[in-house]
Amino acid sequence: MNHPVKIKNALVSVYYKDNLAPLIQLLNKYGVTFYSTGGTEAFIRDLGIGVERVEDLTGYPSILGGRVKTLHPNVFGGILSRRPLAEDKKQIDEYNIPEIDLVIVDLYPFEETVASGASEQDIIEKIDIGGISLIRAAAKNFNDVVIISSKNDYTELEEILAAQEGATTLEQRKSFAKRAFNTSSHYDTAIFNYFNQEEPIEVFKQSEQKAQVLRYGENPHQKGVFFGDLDAMFDKLNGKELSYNNLVDVDAAVAIIDEFQEPTFAILKHTNACGVASRETVKQAWIDALACDPVSAFGGVLITNREVDRETAAEINKLFFEVLIAPSYSEEAIAILTEKKNRIILRRKEVKLPTEQFKTLLNGVILQDKDNTVEGPEQMTTVTKVAPTAAQLEDLYFANKIVKHTKSNTIVFAKNGTLIASGVGQTSRVDALKQAIEKAKAFGFDLVGSSMASDAFFPFPDCVEIAGDNGIAAVLQPGGSIKDKLSIEMADEKGLAMVTTGVRHFKH
């Protein structure tokens, strides 16, 4: 049923007044009576429009420093009364309560106050009580009441009222109610998560207001939506919209590049690094990263932690790629890289990233802390007769950073700050090692003197034996196998240096 309701009385009390004036002026044109408080009341009067004070409606002034203004039966009765119900109508008339047909209320900026680093006292004062109650009451009674809980909805309501001579339909009111409950639930989630930081209750609550519908999901027959604020993370300088798979790869690229302080370039394909190099210049880092596996780099996601200059852009321009990410670009570099319209060029901004990650699994959600640990030379314990050299320790550290961000089971070879090859996502560690050896040989890399990292321990000495037979000089592994002794003995037999870290880096 359409059930049109013409607005007669409106309660307006908002924190943000952007673009509110045209709506108030239109409502005034239709003879609406306004009830308001504080700054909003003054705002309406300044428009030359009459307004009733809520404290006159309730018979009580604003008390407790503004904490209590609207919490009164004369307000909530007017919002919650069921118009078709005779008993409600009788009580409304008995207590002389005006029926409120429109509530325009937003909430104190709780999240913004937390983000500003304000004191706990200031944060607590930004927990809205009256506003959230008004929103919930009006949304509950959408059958008769319009609720506007965001300044983003002012224009839409204005257009509806202009087209329908001051009235709304049931469908429209229900739509606004849905948005209102989204507002209230998001607000409560933010407050709960603020309180749940110390000695947390083990519950899962997440709410993200911004959404971007993607062309499709992982495959064309799957729907895909990104919930988050990409504009806060990147400036998109060129190219088509990011796809689901682009976003997954971009996430992996950001994670791996953040491990490096020195000028570094990484190339990723299907979330795994197929080229990484650290050099004194970003151009040389790009050239050497690409040399690792130029075949897999085709159509990949590229990322660096330094500005891309004209010379580097000219080299990158020779390759077909999907996405390029950098903290900045020279004007000449942008001119070169935007020659092809579909290339996605992103300029990364400084944004604090979450410390936890989650995904749906079975009939629930699984959550964990991000793997923010990577062991450097100080955390490496030599367990063999031969100790790694300083250069080998640096290469083991370099390889360990890449292992951490590569699908298990994985083996990574590194030499002179360059990824030589990796074995990725294999069902056995031996297969991962053999895959890495074959890739290194295919692209002409000499494994003699290189360093090898494994994401988990060696259950048998076979990997160490194969590594020694192929010229590997130093090996990093977490250790912890009941057969560690056999792997160490094999390393000694082959003349390898082996270190253990005590930390596993599975990535499933």
According to the model, what pLDDT value does residue 7 have? 92
140 flagged as catalytic:
yes
Q: Helices 484-494 and 462-469 meet at what angle, rounded to 10?
A: 10
According to the model, what pLDDT value does residue 455 have? 95
Q: Give dist(CA 209, CA 188) in Å, integer.
A: 13
270 flagged as catalytic:
yes
Query: Which of these is catalytic: 89, 126, 186, 270?
Result: 270
Q: Give dist(CA 460, CA 37) in Å, integer.
A: 75
Closest CA to 289 of 264, 308, 306: 264
Query: Can you list the residues of the chain whose pLDDT is less than 70?
Result: 1
Distances in Å between the Cα of 62 and the Cα atoms of 139, 303, 466 are: 24, 56, 79
Query: Which of these is catalytic: 17, 89, 140, 236?
Result: 140
According to the model, what pLDDT value does residue 1 have? 55
Containing 286, the helix (H) or strand (E) segment is helix 282-292
Closest CA to 260 of 84, 156, 398, 416: 398
Chain centre distance of CA 128: 26
